[in-house]
Amino acid sequence: MIRLEKVKKVYDDGFQALKDINLEFKEGEINVLIGPSGCGKTTTMKLLNRLNEPTDGTVYINEKDISQMDPVELRRQTGYVIQHIGLFPHMSIAENVGAVPTLLKWDKDKIDKRVDELLNLVNLDPETYKTRFPSELSGGQQQRIGVIRALAAEPPVILMDEPFSALDPISREQLQDELLRLQKEINKTFVFVTHDIDEALKIADQIILMQGGEVVQKGKPSEVLSNPENDFVVDFIGKHRLEENRNSIPNVDEVMMEKPLTISSSESLTNAYESMKQHGVNSLVVVDRGELKGQVSIFDVIDVGVYENKLVKEVLKPFEQVVEIGTSLKVVLDLMEKNNAANIPVMNNNQFAGMVTRGSVVELLASVYANSQREGA
Amino acid sequence: MDVIQKITEIGQYMIENWAHLLSLTFDHILMVLYGMVLAAVVGISLGIVCAKFEKVAPIILSIANIIQIIPSLALLSIIMLYFGLGFTTVVIGLFLYSLLPIIRNTYVGLKEVDGHVSEAGKGIGMTPFQLLYKIQIPLALPFMMAGVRIATVIAVGVASIAPFVGGDGLGREIVSGINSRNETMIYAGAIPAAILAVLADLILGKLEKRQKNKIA
Ligand SMILES: Nc1ncnc2c1ncn2[C@@H]1O[C@H](COP(=O)(O)OP(=O)(O)OP(=O)(O)O)[C@@H](O)[C@H]1O
Ligand SMILES: [Mg+2]
């Protein structure tokens, strides 16, 4: 995890590019910095590999203050796609892509294999392109090389400054999909700068909207869409996108409670009862190390007797229906209606991810409704 | 009529004395070569120092400039006071005389390297030294080579006055010609010297262009 704490940046000429930035980039997430030209996106990004040093404040990576780390080591562990591509014009494409592994002294065969793999990843035939020089590639092809150069040594953190800006819409979509797939597969932390709000909404786990060296709003795309902070955000996102969002049916990820109360199946009924009483709820989800077992409700407990010496696993009721993450809310509402279910668990790869409850549906409706009133005003 | 006769006369003289002239040409090349190698090593190093430490750049460049301004004969004579007559004095003179174009071109070449490319190198984790020898020097190489080419052409000319401080080379033939008022001898020294300068310019220019094409 990366954390920026009270970071300020004043350039040598006295210009204050960043005013008190506080941010968190979670591991395995795509974090998108977006905002008008000159708002400080590149400045923020360069703090993370110490191409910029903050004037004030601290940057932590996994709770380690990076100003105490060796900048060369730090940069070798941080992939970096610079805004202006910056390929090395005197090196072949293979040498460009293999630049970091070469610095890390991988052996030649391993570098060769990795270069081929990466070129294939971005649809450039290794045999054709490996021996070419950057000037013999189109702008979009150069940009793709810039991207894979940053991925080459599989760094845990990857910084990308407008990496797809020179691509045609189709290649751009392709690379965005590739990025999403990659992130699912390899679980890296991305910090991504773009001007393109559609790109941001598509790929971001967290969107950070900046203006004049400050963070105006940060959050999940759905949060930003359904609850824009102020008129600047509304203008920046564009009314038509907000409108579309309001009319579109969200999927369960946006509706579910991510952390409902859970209990393990080997707990005693007494503990289950105490927990429900303490939190003022009438049921608990039974989960053993991520595996969903069912639920136990207050009525089941009272039926058997609270002080009977019994375990949760003896009274729990399995769920009749579960849905996968990414399911449309419409499907879930249908299920709730048909089965007269108060809640439906959401699964992610056979692991319990969250719960859609009647309460969480109402909450979503409230936020959309509140939002439309704000915009109408 | 007169001109043609003169040319045949010079040609005849050169053919008759080819062994002597060749040995003088060889001496000439040797002096320039020694001076150039020395100047390239020192000049490129100083150029790099200038580019890395902006503060000392004006000092180094001014000193090289002043040396360049001293008339060549005066410079050689001053060096002779310390190193005596002969080869060493000439080589040191050529070395000093060649510094300015090499330092200046190295300095400018390094400054001209695209800042984004340097930033990319730094960003992927090159040490300052790796950045210099993997990125900046290769990209500045055409400029450095232009510096060496300019310096070489100048040095071929300056080396012609080597006999005044006890050196050898084609200047010997020219000076003998002047002393004995023999026009043919003057030509026989001057023509190969001129050809040398042109050849140096052509060959080094070609190398420089090849290097440039590799980059652009
Ligand atoms: N080295 C520098 N010295 C002084 N000011 C700088 C420097 N680098 C950037 N700035 C200023 O800081 C502000 C933020 O720059 P930054 O490059 O972070 O913008 P950005 O959000 O990335 O913009 P863009 O979308 O155009 O790339 C700008 O006003 C810029 O002029
Ligand atoms: Mg920028």
Task: Evaluate: CB of A78 within 6 angstroms of ligand 1.
Answer: no
Query: Nearest CA to CA, how far is A86 from chain B (Å)?
Result: 4
CATH value at residue B58: 1.10.3720.10
Residues B63-74 have pLDDT tens digits of: 999 999 999 999
Query: CATH for A2-249?
Result: 3.40.50.300
Residues B5-21 have pLDDT tens digits of: 989 999 999 999 999 99
Tell whether pTM > 0.90. no
Residue A279's pLDDT is 87
Phi, psi of A27, rounded to the nearest 5 degrees:
-60, 135
| Residue B184 belongs to domain spanning | 2-215
**Chain B residues with CB inside 8 Å of A87's CB?**
117, 120
State both tokens at A54: 């903050």
Domain extent listing, chain A: 2-249, 254-365
The helix/strand/coil state of A64 is strand
Task: Evaluate: CB of A38 within 6 angstroms of ligand 1.
Answer: yes
**Summary mean pLDDT of chain A:** 89
State both tokens at B44: 């490129």
Task: Evaluate: CB of A9 within 6 angstroms of ligand 1.
Answer: no
Q: Is the pLDDT of residue B135 over 50?
A: yes
Look at strands A189-194 and A283-288 and give their pairing. Answer: unpaired
Distances in whole angstroms, Cα of residue B6 to Cα of each of B12, B22, B189: 10, 21, 15
How many residues in total does chain B contain? Answer: 216
Q: Tell me if chain A has a CB within 8 Å of the CB of B210.
A: no
Residue B58's pLDDT is 95
Query: Nearest CA to CA, how far is B163 from chain A (Å)?
Result: 45
How many residues in total does chain A contain? Answer: 377
Structural domain count of chain B = 1
Domain A254-365 has CATH 3.10.580.10: yes
Residue A329's pLDDT is 85
Contact A63, A99 (CB under 8 A): no
Query: Nearest CA to CA, how far is B211 from chain A (Å)?
Result: 10
Residue A376's pLDDT is 43
Number of CB atoms found within 10 A of residue A33's CB: 27
Distance between CA B64 and CA B104 in Å, rounded?
9
Please spell the DSSP secondary structure of A276-310, one letter per residue.
HHHHT-SEEEEEETTEEEEEEEHHHHHHH-TTSS-
* CA distance between the termini of chain B: 52
Q: Do B120 and A80 touch (CB under 8 A)?
A: yes
Q: What is the percent of chain B where pLDDT is above 70?
A: 99
Q: What is the percent of chain B where pLDDT is above 90?
A: 91
Q: How many angstroms is it from A44 CA to the middle of ligand 1? A: 10
Residues A106-148 have pLDDT tens digits of: 999 999 999 999 999 888 999 999 999 999 999 889 999 999 9
Residue A218's pLDDT is 94
Residues of chain A with pLDDT under 70: 368-377
Q: B195-204 long-range contacts, Cβ below 8 Å, gap at least 24?
A: B196/B25, B196/B28, B196/B29, B196/B32, B196/B156, B196/B170, B197/B153, B197/B156, B197/B157, B200/B32, B200/B149, B200/B152, B200/B153, B200/B156, B201/B149, B201/B152, B201/B153, B204/B145, B204/B148, B204/B149, B204/B152
- Give me the torsion for CA of B55, B57, B58, B60, rounded to 10°: 130
Residue B105 CA neighbour count, 13 Å, CB half = 23
Distance between CA B95 and CA B158 in Å, rounded?
11
Strand order in the sheet with A189-194: A78-81, A157-161, A189-194, A30-34, A206-211, A214-219
State both tokens at B67: 């040396």
What residues does B181 pair with on adjacent strands? Answer: none
Hey, of B112, B116, B124, which one would you mutate to test binding to chain A, going by the most A CBs within 10 A of its CB?
B124
